[in-house]
A and B are shown apart, each in its own frame.
Chain A
Amino acid sequence: MTLTALARNVRVPEQDSCETRVKTTLRAVISDNFRSVAAAQGKAIAPLADGLVLLDSGLDSLCFAIIVAMLEDELGYDPFTEAEDVCFPVTFGEFVQFYDRDR
C-alpha cells in the first residue's frame, strides 16, 4: 500500500494527528526498507536514530541505490530525481525529511 493510500485510510478527528501519523508512517516505511535491504545484502545495520550518519549506518552506496528504487515503487516518487540540487542527506533524520519535503 502506498503512503498516500495509507494516509487516506487514517481516520482521526484532528488534522494535526493525521499529519503526525502520516509522518510516523513515512518514517516506518523508510525504516522497513533500510532493514530489509540490509538483511538482503547481509549488512549489519546500526539503530535508525535521527542523528545516525548514513555513512556509519553499515549500508554502502549500492544499498542506498536499492533503497531509493524500492521507496520509489512504494511511495510513487523519487525526491532525488525531482531535486534541483545534487546533495545527498547526511543523517537518517535528514533522509526522512528529504522524502517528507517532497511528499
Chain B
Amino acid sequence: MEVARLPSVLVTGASRGIGLAIVKRLAASGYTAIALARTEGPALTEAIEEARGAAKGAIEFVPFDLSNLDGIPELVRELRARSGAIWGLVNNAGLGLEGLLANSHVSQIEAVIRLNTTAPIVLTKYVVRGMMAGGGGRIVNMSSIIGSTGYNGLSVYGATKASMIGFTKSLAREVGRLGVTVNAIAPGFIDTEMTAGMGEEGREQVMRRSALRRLADVEDVAAMVEFLMGDGGKNITGTVVTIDAGNTA
C-alpha cells in the first residue's frame, strides 16, 4: 500500500530520548507525529516549534498517562476523530526498574509490567482495529537487547522487553493479511537518560565490547522507525531489528 501524504504516526513516550528523536525525524520526513507523553517538557516544545518552522510535517503533543488502561479506548477514539486514520504506531514508552529482583517491591514490578507490556498491548488493540478496517498500517514495538541477552539488575525490564518480541511476532501473523506490518526494534545501550546511570566506565566497557567500538544513538533508532513506516518497510514484518553498534554481534 502506498503511503498517503502526511499520514499520522502515534509515538508513545515522545517527550524525551528515543521517542523525541522519532517524532522529530518523522516530522522532518513529512509525517504528522502525534507525540504522546504525560507532560510536554521543554525539549518536545522546542521540537514542535522547529517542525512548525520547517513546514514539512508536524508534531502534535497529546498528554496521556499510559498506565491509565481504562482511558485508552477513548484516547484512540479522540485521536481518530481529531487527526483521522492512524497510519503508524510506535510503542516506545517504557519504564526502567534497576535493582535486584529480590529487593524489588511488588508494586514496582507491577508498574513496570503495566507500562512496558500491558499498556502497549492494549493501545495496539485499539489502534490496530482502525488499521485493519483501513486496509493497512505499521506498528513498531520498542524492545531491547536486554530482552535476549539479559543484564544484571534488569530482570523485570528484560522480561517486559522479551514480551514485546513475542507480541510482535504473533500479531504480525494475525494482521499481515490486512496489510499491517508489525516489527520490533531492539536498541542496545543508547545514550539517553535511561543509560546515564551506567557512568563513564560502564559506557566505555560497552563500547569496547561492541563491534563498531561505539554506542548507537537515538538517531539510529529514529531512522529505522522512519524506514519501517515508509515504502521500504512494506515487506518487513514479524522481525526484530537490533541497533546496538554490534554489541551482540
Q: Which A residues form the contact surface with B (CB < 8 A)?
A: 40, 62, 65-66, 68-70, 72-73, 78, 81
Given contacts A65-B129, A66-B133, whether A78 and B73 have CB atoms under 8 Å apart is: yes
* B residues 118-142 in Cβ contact with A at 8 Å: 129-130, 132-133, 135
B interface, by DSSP: helix, strand, loop or mixed?
Answer: helix
Q: Is the CB of B132 within 8 A of A62?
A: yes
B177 beta carbon closer than 8 Å to chain A? yes
B46 beta carbon closer than 8 Å to chain A? no
Q: Is the CB of A62 within 8 A of B73?
A: no
* B residues 96-155 in Cβ contact with A at 8 Å: 129-130, 132-133, 135
Q: Which B residues form the contact surface with A (CB < 8 A)?
A: 73, 77, 80, 129-130, 132-133, 135, 174-175, 177-178
Q: Is the CB of A62 within 8 A of B133?
A: no
Given contacts A62-B174, A62-B177, A62-B178, whether A69 and B132 have CB atoms under 8 Å apart is: yes
A interface, by DSSP: helix, strand, loop or mixed?
Answer: helix
Q: Is the CB of B73 within 8 A of A66?
A: no
Chain A residues, Cβ within 8 Å of B135: 40
Q: Is the CB of A73 within 8 A of B133?
A: yes
Taking the closest CB of chain A, its distance from the CB of B40, in whole angstroms, is 28
Q: Is the CB of B178 within 8 A of A66?
A: yes
For the complex with contacts A62-B175, A65-B129, A66-B178, 10 further pairs of A-B residues with Cβ separation under 8 Å are: A40-B135, A62-B177, A62-B178, A66-B133, A68-B129, A69-B130, A69-B133, A73-B80, A73-B133, A78-B73
Chain A residues, Cβ within 8 Å of B129: 65-66, 68-69, 72
In the bound complex, what is the Cα–Cα distance between A40 and B177 (angstroms)? 12
